[in-house]
Amino acid sequence: MKVSEIGNGSEVKIYAAVKGHSIVLMTEAVFGVAAGLLVNPMEYFGKYIQFLEPSIVQIRNKRDGRVYKFMSTTITPVKTRYGNYHLIRCSSTLEPENSRRAERFNIEKLGLISVNGNKMDLRNCIVHDISMRGISLVMEDGTTCIPGDKIDVMFRYGATLHNYELKTVVVRNFKVGRKNAVGCSIENLNVDLIGLLTAKKEEMRSEMENNNAKEETLNPQIPKEQQLRELEEDVANKKDSQRLRTITIRSGEPLIPKNLEHPLRDVRDNRTFRQRNKEKKFAEQARRIENLLDLRNL
């Protein structure tokens, strides 16, 4: 899969390291072009941020619901007739994370369990998620299990509150928030479970189709093919993009907000209402980035 095939509206996270500081920038996919993926612009003090070195990018694609993590070559601002955006370039093919794992579906329903065949001591649990191969359970306080324990799980799900019963074996322990949880392999893959997973998969597919059908265009009055052609022309025209005010983030240089040029630093008291609001917005952005850069172990 190419980065240009990511669905618009997909959540985009850009991870970068600046002189030992970890930063995360969040934006949203807008349009795929031959050169890469256009995303909503990212600004700092009125300047467009650009990454001329490789950065880690994570995208949750709205078209298939999968998460793609890859290394971008550059992330630069571009000027188009539809507005200013950032262009994420990537020369490699995108592969979904955990593509070999069975697809998991959230359940989040209350259930009952018995451990190692002790039917006289039923415990509450929450069925967190389930797949063709396994199930994860959030345990009630005071319930402890270790890998190898056999757990019988019972829960009701669906409009008819159908009762599902599974035999499982604990394979790992982990935490969901502050609660103890266990991941189990399923020993008896029965018809009921297959029907549940099929229904959940169909539900997810319908939801993604609806999302794809609602994908917005940059201009509803212009055919999508014409929009794509015009965007390709604008991206290829680098002269207009070079006129944009930018700030380049390089891993070898520290990003110190107080040393950056503040576009409104010398504005006097006779500022307009619009200028005062703009300065307030820039100051808030600066404060957020300064706080973000203090998170050394993000």
Q: What average pLDDT does the structure give for the chain?
A: 80
Write the pLDDT tens digit of every residue in 157-192: 988 889 999 999 999 999 888 889 999 999 988 888
Instruction: Identify which has the larger pLDDT, 175 or 272.
Output: 175
Pick the CATH number of 105-208 from 3.10.129.10, 2.40.10.220, 1.10.275.10, 3.40.50.300: 2.40.10.220
What pLDDT, on a 0 to 100 scale, did the predictor assign at position 297?
Answer: 46
SS (H, E, C) the chain: CCHHHCCCCCEEEEEEEECCEEEEEEEEEEEEECCEEEECCCEECCEEEEECCCEEEEEECCCCCCEEEEEECEEEEEEECCEEEEEEECCCCCCECCCCCCCCEEEEEEEEEEECCCCCCCEEEEEEEECCCEEEEEECCCCCCCCCCEEEEEEEECCCCEEEEEEEEEEEEEEECCEEEEEEEECCCCHHHHHHHHHHHHHHHHHHHHHHHCCCCCCCCCCHHHHHHHHHHHHHCHHHHHCCCEEEECCCCCCCHHHCCCCCCCCCCCCCHHHHHHHHHHHHHHHHHHHHHCCCCC
Residue 18 sits at the vertex; the CA angle it makes with 12 and 22, to the nearest 5 degrees, is 55
Q: CA dihedral in degrees (291, 258, 56, 241; nearest 10)?
A: 130
Q: Where do the structural domains in the chain lie, given as residue ranges? A: 3-99+216-249, 105-208
pLDDT class for 228, splitting at 50, 70, 90?
confident
Token representation of residue 129: 């998620």
**36 close to 88: Cβ distance less than 8 angstroms:** yes
The whole-angstrom distance between residue 78's C-alpha and the CA centroid of its chain comes to 23
Pick the CATH number of 3-99+216-249 from 2.60.120, 3.40.50, 2.30.110, 2.60.40: 2.30.110
- Residue range 249-270: mean pLDDT, rounded: 46
C-alpha span between 15 and 249 (Å, rounded)? 12
Write the pLDDT tens digit of every residue in 26-49: 999 988 888 899 999 998 888 888
Partners of 218 in the beta sheet? none
Hey, do 3-99+216-249 and 105-208 end up sharing a CATH topology, with the first three levels equal?
Answer: no
- Residue range 123-151: mean pLDDT, rounded: 91
Please give the model's pTM, rounded to 2 decimal places: 0.54
pLDDT class for 272, splitting at 50, 70, 90?
low
- Residue range 92-96: mean pLDDT, rounded: 84
What pLDDT, on a 0 to 100 scale, did the predictor assign at position 261?
Answer: 41
